[in-house]
C-alpha cells in the first residue's frame, strides 16, 4: 500500500512537471513569436531609392533579395559606381561560389539543388564548390524562398520549395550576384509597370536600380530573374498584373512554369562580369 501511494505521488508529480514544461515551452514560443517584427523602410541601394522590409533584423527587398545593412544608405551617395557593389566587390573570388548545405533537405531535394547548380555551370562557367570553412553560402530549408545577393559575409539562401528547380535556379542567380530583371535601368523600353496596381508602400520597390552593370546585355523577357506579370511584389489586386509588355500582353514566371533554367543573356551577364 505504501509503495502504491508513493507511485501515485510520483506519477502526479511527473504529470505536473510535464505540464509545467509544456507551459514553459509554449511561453517561450509565444515570446519568440512576439519578437518577430516587420517594419517598412526606405533607403538608397545601387544608386536608387528603394523600399524594403526589415524582418527580424534582415533587409528583404523586392520579395526575396536579402540586402546587408552596409549596402543600404540613408542618403544618395555623391558618386555611384556600376557593378553589384563598389568596384564589383560582391563577386565571388575566382568565379567560384563556395557553399554548405544545412541539415533538413531530403536526398531528392539536395539533388534538385545540385542540378540547378549544374545548369548555371554548364551555361555560364560559374563554379559551385562544397566547403566547410571560410566564406560560403549556407543553403538551408526555410519558410520562404530568399537569398543574399553576391559575395557577402553571412551569405544565406533559404528555400521553402527546394524541390522546384526553377525557384532554386532563380535564388542561385541572386547568390551569384544577379538582381531582378524588372529593376533594370532599360526596362521601360520593354515593359510597363502598372503603378495603379502596386501599393503606395511598395512602389519604390519598383524603382530602377541605376547603379547596376549588366555586362552589355539588354532586357531579357526570358530571364530566370524576371518575375511574372502576376507574381509582382506589392500587388493591390493579385488578379491583375503588376507588369506587362508594352502592348499590354503578359508573361508567366519563368522560374515556376517557364524555362526553369538560366537564359542565354543570364549566362552572358555572368560570363562578362566574372570574366569567364
Q: How far apart are CA 186 and CA 189, in angstroms?
A: 6
Q: Which helix (H) or strand (E) holds 41?
A: strand 38-45
Residues near 101 by Cβ (< 8 Å), separated by ≥ 6?
110, 113, 130, 139, 140
Cell numbers at 25, concatenated: 515551452
Strand partners, 50: 43
The answer to whether residue 53 is catalytic is no
Catalytic residue among 33, 78, 82, 171: 171
DSSP string, 238-263: TTS-SEEETTS-----HHHHS--S--
CB 172 within 8 A of CB 267: no
Cell numbers at 275, concatenated: 570574366
Q: Confirm whether residue 179 is marked as ligand binding.
A: no
CB 191 within 8 A of CB 243: yes
CB 73 within 8 A of CB 44: yes
Residue 11 class from Cβ within 10 Å (0-12 exposed, 13-18 middle, 19+ buried)?
Answer: exposed
Tell me the CA end-to-end span of the chain in Å, nearest whole number: 83
Q: Catalytic residue positions?
A: 171
- Known binding-site residue numbers for Zn(2+): 170, 174, 180
Amino acid at each position: 500500500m505504501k509503495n502504491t501511494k508513493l507511485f501515485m505521488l510520483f506519477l502526479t508529480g511527473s504529470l505536473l512537471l510535464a505540464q509545467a514544461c509544456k507551459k514553459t515551452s509554449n511561453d517561450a514560443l509565444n515570446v519568440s513569436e512576439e519578437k518577430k517584427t516587420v517594419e517598412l523602410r526606405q533607403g538608397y541601394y545601387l544608386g536608387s531609392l528603394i523600399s524594403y522590409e526589415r524582418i527580424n533584423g534582415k533587409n528583404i527587398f523586392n520579395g526575396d533579395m536579402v540586402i546587408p545593412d552596409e549596402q543600404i544608405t540613408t542618403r544618395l551617395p555623391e558618386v555611384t559606381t556600376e557593378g553589384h557593389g563598389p568596384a564589383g566587390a560582391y563577386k565571388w573570388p575566382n568565379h567560384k561560389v563556395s557553399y554548405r548545405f544545412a541539415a533538413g533537405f531530403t536526398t531528392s531535394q539536395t539533388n534538385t539543388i545540385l542540378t540547378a547548380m549544374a545548369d548555371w555551370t554548364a551555361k555560364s562557367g560559374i563554379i559551385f564548390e562544397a566547403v566547410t570553412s571560410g566564406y560560403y553560402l549556407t543553403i538551408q530549408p526555410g519558410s520562404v524562398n530568399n537569398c543574399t545577393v553576391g559575395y557577402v559575409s553571412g551569405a544565406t539562401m533559404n528555400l521553402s520549395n527546394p524541390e522546384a528547380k526553377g525557384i532554386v535556379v532563380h535564388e542561385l542567380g541572386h547568390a551569384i550576384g544577379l538582381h531582378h530583371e524588372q529593376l533594370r535601368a532599360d526596362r521601360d523600353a520593354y515593359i510597363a509597370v502598372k503603378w495603379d496596381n502596386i501599393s503606395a508602400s511598395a512602389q519604390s520597390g519598383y524603382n530602377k536600380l541605376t547603379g547596376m552593370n549588366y555586362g552589355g546585355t539588354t532586357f531579357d523577357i526570358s530571364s530566370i530573374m524576371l518575375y511574372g506579370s502576376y507574381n509582382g511584389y506589392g500587388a493591390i489586386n493579385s488578379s491583375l498584373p503588376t507588369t506587362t509588355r508594352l502592348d499590354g500582353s503578359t508573361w508567366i514566371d519563368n522560374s515556376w512554369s517557364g524555362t526553369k533554367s538560366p537564359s542565354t543573356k543570364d549566362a552572358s551577364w555572368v560570363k562578362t562580369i566574372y570574366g569567364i
